[in-house]
Amino acid sequence: MDASLLRALEAVVGKDGLVSQPTRLVPYESDGLAILRQRPDLVLLPRDTGEAAACYRLLHEAQVPIVARGAGTGLSGGATPVAGGVVVGTARMRDVLELNTEDRYARVQAGLVNASLSRECDPHGLFYAPDPSSQRACTIGGNVAENSGGPHCFKYGATTQHVLGLVIVQHDGTVLDLSGPIVDPDGYDLVGLFVGSEGTFGMATEVTLRLTPKPPVVETLLAVFDGLEAACDSVTEMIAERLEPSAIEILDQLTIRAVEDSVFAAGYPTDAGAVLLVEVEGLEEEVAVTSEDIRAIFARHPVLEVRSARDPEERLKLWAGRKGAFGAMGRIAPDLYVADACVPRTKLAEMVRATIEIARERGLRLATVFHAGDGNLHPNICYDRRDPDEVERVLDAGRAILERCVDAGGSLTGEHGVGIEKLEQMEYLFSEADLAAMCRVRDAWDPERRMNPGKLVPLRACGEIRAAALPS
Amino acid sequence: MSDAIRERLAEIVGADGVSTWVEPGGRELPLAVPRDTDAATELVRFAGADRLALVPFGLGTKAGWCSPAEHADFALSTRALSGILTYEPGDGTVSARAGSRMADLAATVREGGHRLVPEVTRPAEATLGGVVAAGASGARRLRFGPARNHVLGVRALMADGTLAKSGGQLVKNVTGYDLHRLYCGSHGTLCVLLEVSLRLFALAERELAFTGETTELEVALAACRRLGEVALAPEVAAVVGRGDAWRVTAAFSGRAPSLEAHTGEVRDALGELSLVTELEGAAAEAAVATVRDAELAPEGSWPTLRLAATRSKLAGATELLLSAASELGAPPPRILTHPLVATLDARLDGDGADDLARELATVLAASGVHARWPGLPHDLRRELELDPPAGLAMMRRLKDSLDPDGVFARGRTRGGI
């Protein structure tokens, strides 16, 4: 990288905010999709919007590609660097700028860790609802980029439903202040459009978030089944009966055993074929009758046991097992490919069977844990990246699973984003015209395509649109 | 020119599909009503090829929410493109053509045990596409959130005549950009919505509503604030009225034992009101419909002020509104407000209404409250809307990128988009 540019960037972020030594760049080579790696030329860690904007201006003048990064917990390669590019991280932007308990919102810097916000709000009887499994590490800015979900999004909705405003640094370093919070901003919903844009529109540096009152009563049920099918059927019936718990999660046998062998051990029975974790929240009477209805549904299926968390500690333990499941799977194999797809909730059992079959056909081990209430599947393939043949089979299985989900009326991703991982399948789900509309919107935000290039929308589709726009 | 346009429209949709639409503001436009997607596509391509500007709409129940277009050559109504495509009771989702009437959709999904949201005024006329294009969030927004949260996906007719989908019919999905959120509330300035998928909600086991009256707006607003603190979360907490006649409507739904156990707190919260009435079932729904239908549809004849803020700022803005009217000796404005959502609509009428609007525009701009003046002629609207909306430059870039030739008429929303 040009020495004068380096000096100018260091003048903005200081020595501590600039990472250029090759050994220190290694952790930035990938996000949670470790199968794909690329070392960036440089990592910048600005402390606020002003510094981030100054960095973006300098990089714009030098026409350097930029990848914005939160904690790097994403699973689709959204934060994988690009060759010759710079990573701009939010690790030094972790402040809560405003906590307004009267109007129930918080304004935070993008690098704030998700779980920290709920901790800050807890004394005021409020919490931040989206709770990705990685919430102890992942950042609000990353959640905004990916429109992250989590178990409780079944009731509360994904990140987009909780973002009231944003401050965005655009491709050329100009700052777009949409910090709100206003319930109906005038004109187009730029905030809604930006959420989930995976860093291709610019970088959110400040986020205004809706806070939710804590429910007075929470009951957590653990239902134990001898197989996945019965657990899935119970969920389908709950949805058909229009019951509204706050979370419905399923873990299969391999996952249960991995969790129970790990520090996340939750007390799940290791001989179970599957467990179903259901949480019901609300007023005491409402929780009581809804739990009763759910237990009645379990009773209509071959359930082995249903138990309710006795106290908040047991509840937290049950959830720690669920949220630690991905980490626990490190005990099964050195690497884990976390697939993420959504299907209509009437097709849960059918698609779970299909994913098992796809893995079996390719000689792969599958551990399944997923947000059943939303139809959001996470078939997790255990593998060893040192085995190139296995890597190839994993990628092939991933493609096959996604295509089966799309064929069943589903989509490519429920909460992890498209990133690099699902770029190829975008053309399987979307037509040329669908992608053309996306490319035009991307062009409005980043005409030079320097913001997280090669992610989310296939370049081929955008290239064709650009060619068509050129004078003949 | 208009005759030539009419002739071409008739060739595309048939003579019986062409008539005249009177825009809010009085301008007459040739109106084409396509009966299928091909005809709608042909209309958009015709506009593009002949450098014409068209105004897409449904049945026009929200047309007054926009200003009249700066220039328009014809209107395209999706009213005949109706019907449910898929309703999956087991999945809690519905997809329908844009011209489907909200009342018809609501009746169908109700049979499957679902509630259609948003619940908007004039549901027998309001079309699905029009409601989404207007971003209308309806009377129960406090419980269910804004319209954009319920739209799972759309199929849209773009300015170049291509059909493009965004999202799908899934309750959770982050594949690609959320263009359907961009289109929601864009008032037909970016595309013509042809199909929309919505998330549905369970019909509640029991529904209750309370109404009460007071001569003081402050008493009504205080009652709403107390409703925000009761254990039962209200679906509706609205105030409608003017001068010294104000009605509070509160609605709740949920599991029967919860409602049974906590209605006492609601009655306490409404204790300072007179004539407090408790309603159940269909009567409760009717009470909510009264709030829904109290919408102050902007018509262009009187300035209608639409405020959006935070709860705390809205309270101050409401005071400013009343004191300004009083100081100028203007008739007291008619108001519909959802204080816990933080929205307020006010109709200014009578002699001096325009002067009051000008005065209010100035004081509200200084108070940090977001004020809009929908439905007004351009000149007056420009005078009243003092600050450009945040992000106007980006909005223009989006418009230019998606509709470079201005096929969808410009100037209907703030900032001339």
**A292 exposure class (CB count in 10 Å sphere: 0-12, 13-18, 19+):** exposed
Q: What is the pLDDT of residue B23?
A: 87
Residue B263 included in any domain: yes
Domain CATH code at residue B327: 3.30.70.260
Q: In this complex, is the C-beta atom of A210 within 8 Å of any C-beta atom belonging to chain B?
A: no
Cross-chain CB nearest to B398 (options A160, A284, A444): A444
Task: Inspect the interface and report whether the beta carbons of A283 and B262 lie closer than 8 Å.
Answer: yes
Sign, CA dihedral B211-B212-B216-B221, equals negative
Residue B338 included in any domain: yes
Chain B hits for A409, Cβ within 8 Å: 168-170
Residue A356 has which token pair? 């098992």
Same domain, B238 and B255: yes
Sign, CA dihedral B280-B283-B288-B290, equals negative
Scanning A7-36 for CB atoms below 8 A from B yields none
Same domain, B284 and B213: yes
Distance (Å) from the alpha carbon of A107 to chain B's nearest alpha carbon:
14
Architecture of the CATH domain A96-213: 2-Layer Sandwich (3.30)
Domain final position from B272, B292, B312:
B292
Cross-chain CB nearest to B402 (options A195, A429, A441): A441
Q: What is the pLDDT of residue A254?
A: 94
CB contacts < 8 A, A to B, total 236
How confident is the model over A323-350, as pLDDT tens digits?
999 889 888 888 888 889 999 999 999 9
Mean of pLDDT values over A85-103: 97
Distance (Å) from the alpha carbon of B162 to chain A's nearest alpha carbon:
6
ipTM given for this complex: 0.96
Distance (Å) from the alpha carbon of A372 to chain B's nearest alpha carbon:
11
Residue B142 included in any domain: yes
Chain B hits for A186, Cβ within 8 Å: 370, 372, 389-390, 413-415
Nearest C-alpha in A relative to B141: A183
User: Tokens 């109706």 map to which residue?
Assistant: B82
Contact B57, B100 (CB under 8 A): no
Distance CA B352, CA B340 (A): 30
Distance CA A364, CA A361 (A): 8
Same domain, B285 and B342: no
Domain CATH code at residue B249: 3.30.70.2190
Domain around B211: 206-292
Same domain, B129 and B142: yes
Residue type present at position A375: G
Q: How far is CA B392 from CA A157, B69, B375, B387, in A?
A: 28, 18, 19, 10
Q: What is the pLDDT of residue B300?
A: 61
Distance CA B132, CA B150 (A): 10
Distance CA A364, CA A381 (A): 7
**Is A3-89 CATH 1.50.10.20?**
no
Residue B252 included in any domain: yes
Does the pLDDT of residue A381 top 60, yes or no? yes
Nearest C-alpha in B relative to A443: B401
| Residue B96 bridge partners (DSSP) | B84, B196
CA-nearest of A155, A161, A99, A97 to A124 is A99
**B31 exposure class (CB count in 10 Å sphere: 0-12, 13-18, 19+):** buried
Chain B hits for A185, Cβ within 8 Å: 308, 370, 389-391
Domain CATH code at residue B167: 3.30.465.10
| Residue A89 bridge partners (DSSP) | A69
Pick the residue of B45, B157, B177 with the most A CBs within 10 A to test the interface with A by mutation.
B177
Complete DSSP assignment for A172-232: TS-EEEE----SS-SSS-HHHHHTTSTTSS-EEEEEEEE-EEPPSEEEEEEEEESSHHHHH
How confident is the model over B54-70, as pLDDT tens digits?
999 999 999 888 888 88
Distance CA B332, CA B297 (A): 18
Work out the end-to-end distance of chain A between its first and last CA atoms, rounded to an integer number of angstroms. Answer: 37
Q: What is the pLDDT of residue A462?
A: 65
Same domain, B140 and B241: no
Chain B hits for A431, Cβ within 8 Å: 164-165
Residue B400 included in any domain: no
Q: What is the pLDDT of residue A470?
A: 44
Banded model confidence at residue A471, pLDDT cuts 50, 70, 90: very low
Q: Length of chain A, please?
A: 472
Sheet holding A42-44, edge to edge: A18-19, A42-44, A86-89, A66-69
Distance CA A463, CA B240 (A): 54
Provide the CATH topology of domain A217-407. Answer: Vanillyl-alcohol Oxidase; Chain A, domain 3 (3.40.462)
**A36 exposure class (CB count in 10 Å sphere: 0-12, 13-18, 19+):** middle
Same domain, B214 and B181: no
Residue A71 has which token pair? 């904690």
Same domain, B101 and B172: yes
DSSP-assigned letter for residue A330: G
Distance CA B338, CA B142 (A): 8
Q: Do strands B54-57 and B74-77 pair parallel, antiparallel, or not at all (unpaired)?
A: parallel
Chain A hits for B110, Cβ within 8 Å: none
Chain B hits for A242, Cβ within 8 Å: 92, 113-114, 202-203
3-state secondary structure of A457: coil
Weakest-pLDDT range from A122-126, A199-203, B61-65, B102-106: B61-65
Pick the residue of A242, A248, A374, A470 with the most B CBs within 10 A to test the interface with B by mutation.
A242
Q: What is the pLDDT of residue B298?
A: 66
Domain final position from B202, B235, B268:
B202
Residue B36 included in any domain: no
Same domain, B182 and B212: no
Contact B60, B298 (CB under 8 A): no
Residue B347 included in any domain: yes
Low-confidence ranges of chain B (pLDDT < 70): 1, 297-301
3-state secondary structure of A451: strand
Chain B hits for A171, Cβ within 8 Å: none
| Residue B210 bridge partners (DSSP) | B250, B278
Scanning A236-255 for CB atoms below 8 A from B yields 236, 239-240, 242-244
CA-nearest of B231, B310, B99, B133 to A98 is B310
Residue A233 has which token pair? 């059927």
When divided into structural domains, chain B yields a total of: 3
Q: What is the pLDDT of residue B363?
A: 85
Distance (Å) from the alpha carbon of B264 to chain A's nearest alpha carbon:
15
Residue B345 has which token pair? 């609509």
Q: At what angle do helices B256-269 and B217-227 cross, to 10 degrees?
A: 150
Task: Inspect the interface and report whether the beta carbons of B162 and A436 lie closer than 8 Å.
Answer: yes
Scanning A328-367 for CB atoms below 8 A from B yields 342-346
Mean of pLDDT values over A393-413: 94
Q: Do strands B18-22 and A376-377 pair parallel, antiparallel, or not at all (unpaired)?
A: unpaired
Q: In this complex, is the C-beta atom of A186 within 8 Å of any C-beta atom belonging to chain B?
A: yes
Contact B247, B241 (CB under 8 A): yes
Chain A hits for B390, Cβ within 8 Å: 176-178, 185-186
Q: In this complex, is the C-beta atom of A105 within 8 Å of any C-beta atom belonging to chain B?
A: yes
CA-nearest of B381, B337, B375 to B358 is B381
Distance CA B106, CA B114 (A): 8
Same domain, B103 and B185: yes
Residue B309 vs residue A389, higher pLDDT: A389
Q: Length of chain B, please?
A: 417
DSSP-assigned letter for residue B333: P
Same domain, B252 and B321: no
Q: Which residues of B394-415 are buried (b: 16+ CB within 10 A; e: fewer)?
A: bbbbbbebbbeebbbbbbbbbb
3-state secondary structure of B189: coil
pLDDT averaged over chain A? 94
Task: Inspect the interface and report whether the beta carbons of A442 and B168 lie closer than 8 Å.
Answer: no
Residue type present at position A53: A
Task: Inspect the interface and report whether the beta carbons of B178 and A192 lie closer than 8 Å.
Answer: yes
DSSP-assigned letter for residue A161: G
Query: Which residues have a Cβ under 8 Å from the Cβ of A370 and sit 6 or more positions away?
Result: A249, A250, A376, A377, A378, A379
Residue type present at position B354: D
Complete DSSP assignment for B50-99: TT--EEEESSSTTGGGSPPPSS-SEEEE-TTS--EEEEETTTTEEEEETT
Cross-chain CB nearest to B90 (options A103, A346, A456): A346
Does the pLDDT of residue A465 top 70, yes or no? no
Contact A105, A164 (CB under 8 A): yes
Q: In this complex, is the C-beta atom of A62 within 8 Å of any C-beta atom belonging to chain B?
A: no
Domain final position from B237, B264, B292:
B292
Q: What is the pLDDT of residue A460?
A: 67
Query: Which residues have a Cβ under 8 Å from the Cβ of A3 and sit 6 or more positions away?
Result: none
Same domain, B318 and B281: no
Task: Inspect the interface and report whether the beta carbons of B308 and A411 lie closer than 8 Å.
Answer: no
Banded model confidence at residue A469, pLDDT cuts 50, 70, 90: very low
Q: What is the pLDDT of residue A461?
A: 62
DSSP-assigned letter for residue A463: H
Complete DSSP assignment for B200-267: -EEPPSEEEEEEEEES-HHHHHHHHHHHTTSSSPPSEEEEEEETTEEEEEEEEEE-HHHHHHHHHHHH
E-assigned strands of A215-308?
217-225, 247-252, 274-282, 303-308
Percent of chain A scored above 90 by pLDDT? 89
Distance CA A124, CA A118 (A): 10
